[in-house]
């Protein structure tokens, strides 16, 4: 263990199962460790580094803003937040954006909007948000309550009331829950990322959208892991021809700086008024300037390249010895291996490739622009680690 690891273990709360490696620098899809070794990055900082580490255009946007106006508070208008909100609305057809700093906050805002909308329309007893079993929506007490995985709940009772979980892809269970309860919102991830990189079926997503529309229930899509180009569309819901009422997004939007955003359709965009919600750091000019440089580059040609890279990984791994299945969408990939996933991830790291796990799978969320030659090298390593 090197000195960074020793210091961290002594002073940083032990909430993370860290890999046995300290990183000291990065550029694009490469990282360098305190061991002096170079690593190909298939983690993307868990889907955050959209254009890799220390991307030049992002650095330029961020540093320029940093020396112009670093923070001012939400008592004043600032250009980067206004401009980023406009860009996001233009790309999605949404009407307004609330900015926060994290994933969980982006979901919290969506839940607050759905609850207020439904309480005003259907009465104060209409507050239950329907989410899916095996979902993951964050770690604050309310986002945890939304998360449909009991093992996260056990130690933190009582949770926020008013969340109901139905099995993913079970259309009948969804219909039954909506008929039996007063539902204020339906929230889902199009691909359950932390749940094991499991895409929902198009039928289930479209049924949920239809029911939500027919019954005037706000539909919330958690695009935290799937969003900002990750699946080959700007947002994953765009694969399914649906139009959500609320979209929560973070991770890849910031390209490396913390930002959360909740996109609101016209139907719900004026639900929250002055004082109903807020955030000290939300819409920080530096984070927003970085995000603008990310979003501006996500055109159709770029998204087609994301799809091409995802297809390349799938064809490199599907049917390879030791690989049982490959799931996911675009550059969000889950690999069920014969060996335990943690063993495969360790073997890859020893050979200079960084990967993630999700449940029992090896998970890949590489930078969206990872060069094809690095990807080919990484696939050779991954295949040999699966043997």
In whole angstroms, the minimum distance from the beta carbon of 217 to ligand PLP comes to 20
Name which of 239, 366, 228 is nearest 292 in CA terms: 228
Considering the rule CB under 6 A, would residue 138 count as an interface residue with ligand PLP? yes
- Residue 299 CB, nearest approach to ligand PLP (Å): 24
Shortest Cβ distance from residue 175 to ligand PLP (Å)? 24
What's the closest the beta carbon of residue 297 comes to ligand PLP, in angstroms?
Answer: 22
For residue 225, the minimal CB distance to ligand PLP (Å) is: 4
Decide whether 33 or 366 has the Cβ nearer to ligand PLP: 366
Binding to ligand PLP by residue 108, rule CB under 6 A? no
User: Binding residue for ligand PLP (CB under 6 A) from 39, 58, 136, 234?
Assistant: 136
Rg (CA), the chain: 21
Binding positions for ligand PLP, 162-191, rule CB under 6 A: 189
Q: Are 91 and 234 in contact (CB under 8 A)?
A: yes
CB of 372 to ligand PLP, least distance (A): 27
Number of residues that bind ligand PLP (CB under 6 A): 13
From 19, 15, 9, select the one nearest 362 (Cα to Cα): 19
- Using the rule CB under 6 A, which residue among 194, 262, 298, 354 binds ligand PLP? 194
Whole-angstrom distance, CA of residue 10 vs CA of residue 168: 41
CB of 141 to ligand PLP, least distance (A): 12
Helix (H) or strand (E) holding 346: helix 341-350
Q: What is the DSSP string of 139-168?
A: SSHHHHHHSB-HHHHGGGPSPPS-EEEE-T
> 365 and 356 in contact (C-beta within 8 Å)?
yes
Name the residue among 245, 170, 231 with its Cα closest to residue 201: 170
Q: 139, 182, 359, 383: which one contacts ligand PLP (CB under 6 A)?
A: 139
Residue 55 lies near ligand PLP (rule: CB under 6 A): no
With CB under 6 A as the contact rule, the residue among 30, 84, 85, 104 that binds ligand PLP is 104
Report d(CA 190, CA 223) in Å as an integer.
Answer: 8
137 is an interface residue for ligand PLP by CB under 6 A: yes
DSSP character string of 233-301: SSSGGGGTT---SEEEE-GGGTBTB--EEEEE-TTTTTSS-TTT---SSTT-HHHHHHHHHHHTT--HH
One of 30, 81, 103, 126 touching ligand PLP (CB under 6 A)? 103
Binding site for ligand PLP (CB under 6 A): 102-104, 136-139, 189, 193-194, 222, 224-225
């Amino acid at each position: 263990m090197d000195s960074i690891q020793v210091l961290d273990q002594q002073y940083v709360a032990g909430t993370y199962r860290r890999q046995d490696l300290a990183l000291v620098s990065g550029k694009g899809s490469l990282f360098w460790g305190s061991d002096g070794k170079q690593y190909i990055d298939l983690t993307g900082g868990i889907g955050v580094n959209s254009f890799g580490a220390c991307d030049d255009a992002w650095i330029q946007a961020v540093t320029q803003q940093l020396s112009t106006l670093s923070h001012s508070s939400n008592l004043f208008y600032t250009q980067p937040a206004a401009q980023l909100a406009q860009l996001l609305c233009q790309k999605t057809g949404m009407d307004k954006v609330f900015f926060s700093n994290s994933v969980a906050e982006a979901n919290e805002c969506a839940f607050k909007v759905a609850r207020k909308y439904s309480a005003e329309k259907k009465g104060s007893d209409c507050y239950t948000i329907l989410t899916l079993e095996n979902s993951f929506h964050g770690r604050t007490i309310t986002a945890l309550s939304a998360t449909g995985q009991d093992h996260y709940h056990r130690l933190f009772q009582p949770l926020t009331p008013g969340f109901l979980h139905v099995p993913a892809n079970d259309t009948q269970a969804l219909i039954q829950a909506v008929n039996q309860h007063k539902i204020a919102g339906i929230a889902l991830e199009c691909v359950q990322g932390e749940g094991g990189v499991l895409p929902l079926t198009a039928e289930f997503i479209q049924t949920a959208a239809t029911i939500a529309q027919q019954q005037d229930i706000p539909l919330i899509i958690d695009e935290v892991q799937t969003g900002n180009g990750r699946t080959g569309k700007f947002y994953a819901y765009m694969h399914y021809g649906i139009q959500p009422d609320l979209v929560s997004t973070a991770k890849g939007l910031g390209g490396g700086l913390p930002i959360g955003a909740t996109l609101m359709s016209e139907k719900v965009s004026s639900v929250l008024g002055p004082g109903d919600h807020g955030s000290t750091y939300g819409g920080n000019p530096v984070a927003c300037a970085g995000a603008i440089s990310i979003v501006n580059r996500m055109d159709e040609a770029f998204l087609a390249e994301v799809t091409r890279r995802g297809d390349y990984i799938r064809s490199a791994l599907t049917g390879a010895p030791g690989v049982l299945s490959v799931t996911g969408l675009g550059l969000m990939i889950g690999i069920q291996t014969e060996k335990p996933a943690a063993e495969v991830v360790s073997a890859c790291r020893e050979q200079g490739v960084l990967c993630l796990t999700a449940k029992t799978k090896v998970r890949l969320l590489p930078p969206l622009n990872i060069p094809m030659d690095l990807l080919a090298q990484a696939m050779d390593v991954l295949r040999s680690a699966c043997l």
